[in-house]
Structure 1
Amino acid sequence: MSDNFTLSHGRLKTRFTALGPYFREGLSEPDRYFFDSLSVCVDANKEPDVREFWGWWFELTPSDQGFNYHYGFGLFDKEGVWVAKPIPSDAREAVDKTLTHFYAKLCTLVNDDLSRTLSPSQTLSEPELAGNES
């Protein structure tokens, strides 16, 4: 990020935490911010420590103009690892809804509050997200 970007890593973490339960501080660093959502439980009858979830993960990397994003869909397995997999049709609506909700909040924060841009990464393989990007 350019030197005129005034928010430190600590302040960005505070702002990202305010977006809701998506921000994963322990998986974030000054050059990469990690978010995710465990949107749909695969089997709620299993013990909590072995449950798996359908959802998404989202990464932001600082750039000169703001942030670049990259995201993916898949299964959060019982080992606590994201595995890229197609979302089953019965879970897709819920997963898409949480990503859309998160992305709208992120756009407002980045574009309006921070006066920065939010752009897709060159490595993005999923569709570009629609929002109020600048």
Structure 2
Amino acid sequence: MSDKMTLSHGRLKTRFTALGPYFREGLSAPERYFFDSLSVCVDAEKDPDTREFWGWWFELTPIEHGFNYRYGFGLYDHKGDWVSESIPQEARDAVDKTLTNFYTKLYTLLNEELELSLSPSGTLTEPELAGTA
């Protein structure tokens, strides 16, 4: 469908918001869409304003007929910044599960519903994510 290729920034934001709690509208613009997941709290006993989380961030960059992606893992610190860091083994399964769930939803939206490509960026340093059938 021709209208699928001409989705506006506003329409894309609406579609990305519907994927769940991952889309960060305030960190997104027409040239880059940002998603993340605060998957595992490092220390739930800390004051909520100082808690840190293990998780991932994910960026989409528009290209002709689709998007390139790159992502990373790390610590979402008490200042609200992502710090690239190895995820401890006890948190790894939960972090991986949230990324897999998100990627499956994103792939379905872009590839199957909107007929847009989803490809790894040339700057991707993590393993390429597998599409769904």
Structure 1 residue 114, shift from structure 2 partner: 0.7
Listed one character per residue, the Cα deviations across residues 111-130 of structure 1 (whole Å, up to 9, x for unaligned) are 01110110000000000001
- Please show how residues 30-109 of structure 1 align to structure 2 within 5 Å: 30-109=30-109
How far apart are 1:132 and its partner, in Å? 2.5
In structure 2, give the amino acid aligned to 1:5: M
- The RMSD of aligned alpha carbons is 1.4
Aligned counterparts of 1:5 and 1:108: Cα–Cα separation in 2: 16
The one-letter code matched in structure 2 to 1:124 is: L
Instruction: Could you tell me which runs of 5 or more consecutive residues in structure 1 were left unpaired when the two chains were aligned.
Output: none
Gaps of 5+ in 2: none
Shift of 1:65: 2.2
TM-score of the pair, normalised by structure 1: 0.95
Q: Which runs of 4+ in 1 moved over 3 A?
A: none
How many residues are aligned here? Answer: 131
Return the offset for 1:14.
Answer: 0.1
TM-score (normalizing by structure 2): 0.96
Measured in 1, the distance between the counterparts of 2:9 and 2:58 equals: 18
Query: Identity over aligned residues, as a percent?
Result: 74
SS in 2 for 1:43: coil
Q: Deviation per CA, 1:78-106: give whole Å up to 9, x if none.
A: 00000000000000000000000000000
**CA–CA distance in 1 between the matches of 2:87 and 2:71?**
14
AA aligned opposite 2:13: K
CA distance in 1, matches of 2:129, 2:86: 17
SS across alignment from 1:100: helix
1:23 corresponds to: 23
